[in-house]
Structure 1
Amino acid sequence: MKKIPSPVIAVLSENLPQLCSHAEINNLFMHADAPGEPPEETKSVKTQAWLKRINDHCDQPLEVLGRLIESFMEIPDHVEESVSLFGVDIESQSATFKKKLTASLERYNLRYLQGGYISDGSTAPSRSLSALIKGRNVPAIEAEFNRSLENVHSEPREAVSAACNILESIFKIYIEDEGLETPTKQDLQGLWKVVKNELGFDPQRIEDDDLRRILSGIFSVVDGIGAFRTHASSAHGQGRKLYTIKPRHARLAIHSAHTLALFVLETWDEKKQR
């Protein structure tokens, strides 16, 4: 169970009193299913006490936090714009609050996802992949990476599509950068065949039996994710059979794709160093 970090509590305790009345703060916390009755304190102390109570008594404090900050993190674009006062542009309080809250969450590998969800940085492969792609200046990969995580709760079909697109983007960039012949069929399986052969991903050449089994399992992920996108994601229309994708299914596809993507990029880097 991950608790709400103290700096996040501090940001909320400092800014909510400036944006909300006592009644509005009470309504926010009750809407988020915060436990107990409203503390009889000043707005700042009330906010801090209630957040600490959430940490102490809730099974999933970050779920409550997501619902609590949803209206502030999803403010319309026109509300976020700065206002002009005596000819000087001043950023709105709501925009400033959102930026402070986002920065405070990021310090602890947390990020707000649309719909009132807080991601705890996803899996270790996802965090490592995020760090790896940020240093490559490849907007296409980074965009699909963000899209997969941002839509896992609200649009799991979209998240599955993005998970597949991450692999396709990496494979296409590898083929282009290495000057390889582009396959006639540029679907996920066609691109993967070129990349795995070039990088020497042949389980039969691995002497260690255990490692060979792991590699064989990981590589079957490509076929699985490709088929999953074809049959169940937002990338294609649905036939008579309608797939019901839940966030846990999307996370399975995302984490699998991120694990393989990280392995491909790390192997590519090692090959260039040699």
Structure 2
Amino acid sequence: MTNKIPNSVIGAVSSVLAEHYYSHSTLNSLFMESGAPGGVPEGNCETKCSSWLRRCNDDSTVDPMQVLGQVIQKFMDLEPDDWNQKIGPGQERIRASLAKNQLTYQMNGFITLAGASPAAKSLADFFKAGDFSSIEAEFERAISQVDRDPHAAITASSAIIEALCKTYIETRQLDMPTMQTIGPLWRVVQQHLGLNIDRTLQDDQKRILQGLASIVDGIGAYRTHIGSAHGRGIEPPKIVVSEARLAVHASHTIVIFVMERWLGAMRSV
């Protein structure tokens, strides 16, 4: 699969996102959070989207398809509703443009070849299958970005936790929180995780889980501040590489803990 974003896809995505978000600050935040390189391009919302996606194609330090997937993820994963009747047609326009270029969009921001083998799965598929090796590979990819782009590494690790929580909640048929951000999602999962049956150890485990909740909130805050364009101009806040690496490794620990608990519960059924 070519790593360049086709011109027709750039055109469709730029038009749809500009009409959906119609806000420069929101689009700035979206593209920065998704790892798009450089400062904010000039022009109206549609021109800005187009310029940033083309810049991704020209920058050898980024993966254009990965950025594209993250840029369109929030919009493509929305459920069409009567309140905003443009969501469905916009999603179909993007899917049609991808299909003309033998590409397809999958949940959680994955762009793959149309008709690709089942190996091209989403994060949700990995979690449901208990595919530890694939999740490890996702974290290895995040770690590989730390030195070059610590902001993108934190964004990736935060997205993995969010995908884990959403998949866990849906699979367990729990109530999805109204705010589907990392903090509220984690709190639903945390409350459902079984504690050690030994009462002496339950209190100890509660302390650890409370600590994990603080870590999750911190990672979510990192992502928000790094991705937010409000009050900081066009450059994201500086973050030391060691701090980003700590956040990614902490995310990895949380995800593997939940997966092990989840897989153990499934095996006992």
Q: TM-score normalized by structure 2?
A: 0.45
Structure with the greater relative contact order (CA < 8 A, sep ≥ 6): 1 or 2?
Answer: 2
State which structure, 1 or 2, has the greater radius of gyration over its C-alpha atoms.
Answer: 1
